[in-house]
Structure 1
Amino acid sequence: MNDFAGRTALVTGGGSGIGLATARLLAERGARVAVLDLDPTGVPEPLVGVRADVTDEASVTSAVAEVLERFGGLDVLVNNAGIGAAGTVEANGLDEWWRVLDVNLLGLVRVTRAALPALRGSDAAAIVNVCSIVATAGLPDRALYSASKGAVLSLTRAMAVDHVGEGIRVNCVNPGTVDTPWIGRLLRAADDPGAELAALQARQPTGRLVTMDEVAQTIAYLASPHAASVTGTDVAVDGGMSGLRVTRR
């Protein structure tokens, strides 16, 4: 497929995980792709790595300006940068609440605000926010993370209605438990990594973790011309976790 030929895409948090898988896929399908990350040194060609801290407005403004100077415009923005948190509503200190919200919610806001003027100049502008299944399904010990992603889901719909008249589509993808380096680190830190992995697999009706490529394919669809009539939508890529209740026999 070459459906992104002549298009420019910007992916935040694209140095690894879902962001890198998405950036690679968009490039394979013809896009010129810039990756914003705290450490873009390992970003492979033909991707263009740009250092940016989404919690710092000056850093974001400078990074987006660098991308625009290099490519001359912007058609697709993938807001993927994010961090996790575990615990109940009282388990995390307020400093941790501010830190997670600053990355997961306000980081998205900063990058989008910097990118919008350029997106308005595109004839096929699309924003895809990487949300999470925790925005629609209650999971234990995820109060802070759920709050941040619930805000992303609501913001996606608000942005979609605000900018539909400008020709900018806004959607989000809600991954379930994805086999990413972050999950790998959590498993290695567990007392019994094998049992923890089995528990994560069992809570998804498909019986396995979602792959990064599966999420990337969904993001690419939402960003592509094939989804020209799709806006204000959240798409779950979660192995049925949000809607299915499977009885194991």
Structure 2
Amino acid sequence: MTDYTAQSAQPVWLELSSPQSDVSTKFYSELFGWEFSGAGPLGLGSQALLGGRAAAGISPQPPQAPEGQPGFWSVYFRAESLDTFLTAVDASGGQAMTVVPEFDGEASVALVSDSGGTAFGALTFDDSRGLGTVGELGAAVYFELHTHSPEKADFYSEVFGWTKSTGTSTIREEAQLFTMPGDVDLTAAVVDLSGTQIPSHWEAFYMVEDVDAFAQKVPELGGALLVKPTNTPRGRVAKFIDPHNAAFGVIEPNWL
């Protein structure tokens, strides 16, 4: 895919918070071929480059993080106005958790929870910072909202203007599907966690050429298999944890 610049309501950043960022950068560089240079749009840690374009970021956990806390990935979407975004979040039943109205020039960031309690981030900025690639090998290509309250997923249509339809997820042949606005084909499916103890979360799936070969490589680098390679309605999928128990997924997409 050609260069990507997130438009409003599209994914703009993926950030791994790691207890040992040096170990994490080594793991992901060997796994995806990422090269690390400089800080990402949050001004933390290092950004991962794929063919010279930003694919993600890895930052150290803050000093106040509980000892033994696992790593975790966060998904951020672009907002044109932080105030307008936060007003929409509140009106749609969500809640602001952390807000930084200005940092590093004209940028701002917020961490919020949607009306079902799932956390995600929003970034505003006036330059080209953010993801520089999606939809290519080693980059994010597909997203899923895993929630205990799928009936509240319309929150994202209300806040971001996403278009709701019926499609497929990596779990079901029929699922809520949201198409994000813009000139890049990006979708997010809703996965129902009802009846499970799994916390609600956002997942980004990274595109790989061969899920089975990838699954053999992960344990060799210090990660572990969570979900073995499986054919799903969206393509062949597998899920893993990295050396610090941060979960991530890969996919051979069947729609590209």
Question: Fold conserved (TM > 0.5)?
Answer: no
- The structure that is strand-richer by fraction is 2
- TM-score, length-scaled by structure 1: 0.30
TM-score by length of 2: 0.29
Structure with the larger helix share: 1
